[in-house]
A and B are shown apart, each in its own frame.
Chain A
């Protein structure tokens, strides 16, 4: 009995020693296949590119499918649904109407149906700042108003004024200049 205890005591200290050494010199595989084990297959449940696109343009019954279709296949599978829903939602595209990007309904939904964020690696990154458009998405961007303007605002952002701005223009807490940029929680 006593000897068993002794042996397990030895084992324990050996383990402790071992764990000390792994802290200093990472062993190949640590933190991936053990301690912790991160390995395995992960299957997609949700995805997102541009803000609000899924809500506005994807019908309820297609949302599950849209969330698990790779972006490179989304346009072929969903562009026509996007166009139908856009035309049902907004009068701005009727009779050959365009948006401020000069796009008709087919062109605009052709862009949106591939739900990725286009981001410039050179310079300003913004959804729209008056000059740059779709070069990223910054925290302070009023993306909803930009999308409403593109959906309802017509060629020069002047159509359907009551629909093209939700009149919530900024966040309720200032962002940080440095990492992690998002404001501390309430």
Chain B
């Protein structure tokens, strides 16, 4: 969980909300941007311990009914960044771009240049793995190629925390947590991108520094 953007509860429903005003015009739709909010990031060793798993979650606090209509913003790239030289500058990236209901995944590959702007780092379809975005209520669709597996679609939100009580403490309205606490994220879903790669592709040994970015097509 990053900055609890998902707990803010600004859902896509609201993004979608076009307020029908009693006037001769419709209001502007809610300002965009929620679709690129990263709610969470995980990196852990895979079931096959030679592999590393990266997880990015977006669009938190989705109720089951909201999940059914949730989609990825196809202008937004999710980019996992990997630094394996200890300078906190990415040496490798894994790029995931949704298009026409599929998630296209490229990498790990050296970025043409590190930093805030990214371009696709692939020469042909051979460098790309793609998978259908799993629809709500159906079995997880997984694509595997050259030892790399990818998944994209709705999942249970793995995050757990009593966010409301934490906020009360920060706001000075409470002096401590409740026991038992209440998991704000219980029963809710997120939109996930999961990529598993052989450790050999990202350095093999030692420690990496990793983070995830969302980037909008210009």
Contacts and interface: CB of A to CB of B under 8 A. Distances in A.
A166 interface: yes
7 contacts: A71-B83, A72-B88, A116-B210, A119-B44, A144-B1, A168-B181, A175-B158
B162 to A, nearest CB: 4
Interface in B145-193: 149, 151, 154-156, 158-162, 165-166, 169-170, 175-183, 185-189, 192
A177 interface: yes
Interface string B90-129: 0000000101100010000000001111111011111110
Contact of A43 (B182, B212, B216): B216
B211 A117 contact: yes
A46 B45 contact: no
Interface of A: 26-32, 36, 38-49, 51-55, 58, 63, 68, 70-72, 89, 114-126, 135-139, 142-144, 162-163, 165-173, 175, 177-186
B88 to A, nearest CB: 4
A32 B207 contact: no
Contacts of B205: 121-122
Given A26-B125, A30-B124, 16 more contacts: A32-B125, A38-B97, A38-B104, A41-B119, A42-B77, A42-B117, A44-B117, A48-B38, A52-B3, A162-B175, A163-B177, A166-B166, A171-B160, A172-B183, A185-B154, A185-B156
A52 B4 contact: yes
Contacts of A168: 160-162, 180-183
Q: Which 10 A-B pairs have the closest CB atoms?
A: A162-B176, A42-B215, A54-B3, A167-B181, A31-B125, A180-B151, A182-B155, A183-B156, A49-B211, A26-B125
Contacts, number: 274
Contacts of A68: 116
Interface string B1-27: 111100000000000000000000000
Given A30-B125, A171-B158, A171-B160, A181 B209 contact: no
Contacts of B210: 49, 116-117, 119
Q: Is the interface of A mostly helix, strand, loop or mixed?
A: loop
A52 B2 contact: yes
Contacts of A183: 155-156, 158
B216 A32 contact: no
A144 B159 CA distance: 9
Nearest to A169: B160
Contact of B40 (A36, A51, A181): A51
A133 to B, nearest CB: 12
B55 A181 contact: yes
